[in-house]
Structure 1
């Protein structure tokens, strides 16, 4: 009598792949240092230069910038790192070898998200600690704000990771992906009110463009968590618009999943 062993499910393969991704990430010391240090260093430099009073009493420019940059750090550990990492895996043939295994693309995506989730939480803790020490940013005391932090973090990780996977379809080399990813991320940081605080100081047309992308809403969600309610007057709409934050990020999760699934390729060879 012949018995057939059932193959592991997509979720099981994804969890196993996530463990591999984490080991690979933390073994690369240069990548670990760069991933965690760059957003924190930028926050320290820009916050120290731009820190000063705002029109809203009790909230400094440094606090506005720090709260937004915590959100931007999540995009750095997801969109940037995933896009560049997949391009490198494809270029060196690692993805081609994985294609010969029973692992489906969905399991590979899950593995990437697990790696991003761990690094993003660590990044958030690091950035928040720096902001508390240097810019007197307070941790939220309201349980509702902690809940907001959780869902903004989850939706931000999922949407940004999937878009990081999708953007690798635009280039065929790691260097090309680095250029595209960094340019997109840098431009979005400027027009999303990360580097320019408060966001009301930006031209309306720039903010309107940024409103189509996740970064602006991720940063707005994080500002709602770490800043007092009165600081919402510094936003373009004068409120935190949390329902809109949730809606835009949820839509990008769906759009990102479709784009990642349709455009993802295991090799640089033409389909």
Structure 2
């Protein structure tokens, strides 16, 4: 990585001037994506996990949901899309950055002339690429097997765009922040996966929101996953399904405010907690 960064820093006239963070971030993003796809087991697990769970839950619970005009299978499609977005951002970054810190990759990168912003831009490109691919796969499965209809008007697609961008950004920043919690690479998976698993149960991913106790929904409402699920249901399900929501409405305005707040709050957490060295290195 150091050799690649040094090579990228050379200009055509031979000067050792370092390019800006943006072109280096693009270069690192391409490198991150290539490295990701070289790990075939990780690729298969990342993209297959939510699809397999969608098939399982949609096969077990597939009856019509009373008073909603949709089936339980259709409810799971946007929920699993939201879970997939958080998986490729929060879970992926939380674990991978913790491992890179423990293996002193971050420390070596910090010792190069590369701007720190380029490292994070590279991660953002990776998360954006995998998030779009994961969402496309789940949407293809939902429309093919579970009669989920694509939006017919531009307004709903616009809603989908900002929900996706804000949700992915907030979850990615939260993943970067939580990467500082594990003390070692060995504990990274446990530290990151446990809160993500709990959030999936109390945010309407595995269990319909109309059957979750109110106090659990109130806790889930403090985090972005619940609003990401609700927003995607509002995009891909008919308005009759509003009856299942806690407030009886999609609440797009509140979704925008909460996800935007998590983008700002996640950035603040990253600035306050991120470390280039592990705790053992001081």
2:162 to 131, 151, 158: 151
Whether contact under 8 Å (2:68, 2:244) holds in the other structure is no
1:119 to 113, 130, 145: 130
Matched, 1:10 2:21: yes
Whether contact under 8 Å (2:21, 2:117) holds in the other structure is yes
Whether contact under 8 Å (1:148, 1:225) holds in the other structure is yes
- Return the offset for 1:167: 0.3
Matched, 1:208 2:218: yes
Bigger mean CA offset, 182-191 vs 171-180: 171-180
> How high is the TM-score relative to the length of structure 1?
0.95
Matched, 1:253 2:263: yes
2:92 to 81, 84, 96: 81
Matched, 1:104 2:104: no
Summarize deviations over 1:234-260 as a string: whole Å, max 9, x none: 100000000111110101001111111
Structure 2, unmatched stretches of 5+, are 1-13
Matched, 1:243 2:247: no
Query: Distance in 2 between the 1:53 and 1:85 partners?
Result: 40
- Return the offset for 1:58: 2.9
- Return the offset for 1:267: 1.8
Which consecutive segments of 4 or more residues in structure 1 shift more than 6 A?
A: none
Structure 1, unmatched stretches of 5+, are none
Matched, 1:28 2:61: no
> How high is the TM-score relative to the length of structure 2?
0.91
Aligned to 1:173: 184
Matched, 1:219 2:229: yes
Relative to structure 1, is the Cα distance of residues 160 and 57 closer, same or farther in structure 2, using a 3 angstrom cutoff?
closer
Query: Distance in 1 between the 2:203 and 2:68 partners?
Result: 23
Backbone CA RMSD of aligned residues:
1.5
- Return the offset for 1:12: 2.1
- Return the offset for 1:14: 1.6
Summarize deviations over 1:129-156 as a string: whole Å, max 9, x none: 1112221111111111111111111111
Whether contact under 8 Å (1:113, 1:157) holds in the other structure is no
Query: Distance in 1 between the 2:52 and 2:27 partners?
Result: 33
Whether contact under 8 Å (2:101, 2:276) holds in the other structure is yes
Query: Distance in 1 between the 2:232 and 2:64 partners?
Result: 20
Query: Distance in 2 between the 1:4 and 1:130 partners?
Result: 51
Query: Distance in 2 between the 1:220 and 1:20 partners?
Result: 34
